[in-house]
Amino acid sequence: MSEQEKIRQLLTGYIDNELSEANRCKVEKMLVEQPTLQQDLEAEREMKSLLKNRCTPMKCPEYLNMRIKRKISREKKSSLFEFIGTMFEYRPVAAAVTFATISTLIFLSGYQFLSTNIDFPFIKQRGMSKGVIIGQIICVDCDVFFRTGMEGTHNTEVHRLGLKARNGSVWTIMSGNGGDRSFTLNHNLLEKEARLTGYIFQDSHYILANDYELL
């Protein structure tokens, strides 16, 4: 760097009030000793002032303003995708491990869920819980006739099995074993004590039996 250029840089710093005290004194001394430097100083000051005054901010177009506002308002919604994208971009191993872990968990959860053989239309029913009921296997239709004293009959070849719990409550049995209805139509089970395991729908008094054990 030439001496002239060093001086010019010092003048620039002096104009912008960015010099250390020592350099400021140095410049002021040079300005006294070299009158032509004063002209350089004024010229550069003029240039700075000119740029400041003439390069005024231009108005940003209104449509750009609106576009940016829209973009930002949408930004939060896509932040999850952005985060995932960022992860894949910068931490591919961590992202792959996370992805594999989440996929495995989802698979295992789904597998465990499906292995219960629940009939899907009932899944959303309120008040469902898994449990065990012990009681006597009865025909719910016959029980209705018996309880109410109604006269009449139902098709006795198709008894609908239910369970009369020890507290007297009656539960209609549905087959939970993949829709195998042989259990619910097995008349040989009538009047027998059994322990039923499955999903209990408390609101509708149904039990989706996955397993039973005769006592």
- Which residue, chain included where needed, has tokens 């009939």? 119
Helix (H) or strand (E) holding 120: none
Cα–chain-centroid distance for residue 139? Answer: 46
- Closest to other proteins by CB, 20 vs 155, is 20
Query: Residue 41 Cβ, how far from other proteins at the closest point, in Å?
Result: 9
Per-residue contact string for residues 67-106; x = within reach of other proteins by CB under 8 A? xxx-xx--xx--x--x------------------------
Work out the burial of residue 164: count CB atoms within 10 Å of its CB; fewer than 13 is exposed, 13-18 middle, 19 or more buried: middle
- Closest to other proteins by CB, 34 vs 103, is 34
- Contacts of residue 3, defined as CB under 8 A and 6 or more positions apart, other chains included, come to none
Cα–chain-centroid distance for residue 56? Answer: 47
- Closest to other proteins by CB, 13 vs 195, is 13
Dist. CA 4–CA 11, nearest whole Å? 11
Does the protein bind other proteins through residue 141 (CB under 8 A)? no
Query: Residue 44 Cβ, how far from other proteins at the closest point, in Å?
Result: 5
- Closest to other proteins by CB, 9 vs 204, is 9
The correct pick among 55, 80, 93, 150 for binding other proteins (CB under 8 A) is 55
Length of the chain: 215
Dist. CA 73–CA 118, nearest whole Å? 43
- The site for other proteins (CB under 8 A) is made up of 1-2, 4-5, 8-9, 11-13, 16, 18, 36, 39-40, 42-48, 50-52, 54-61, 64-65, 67-69, 71-72, 75-76, 79, 82
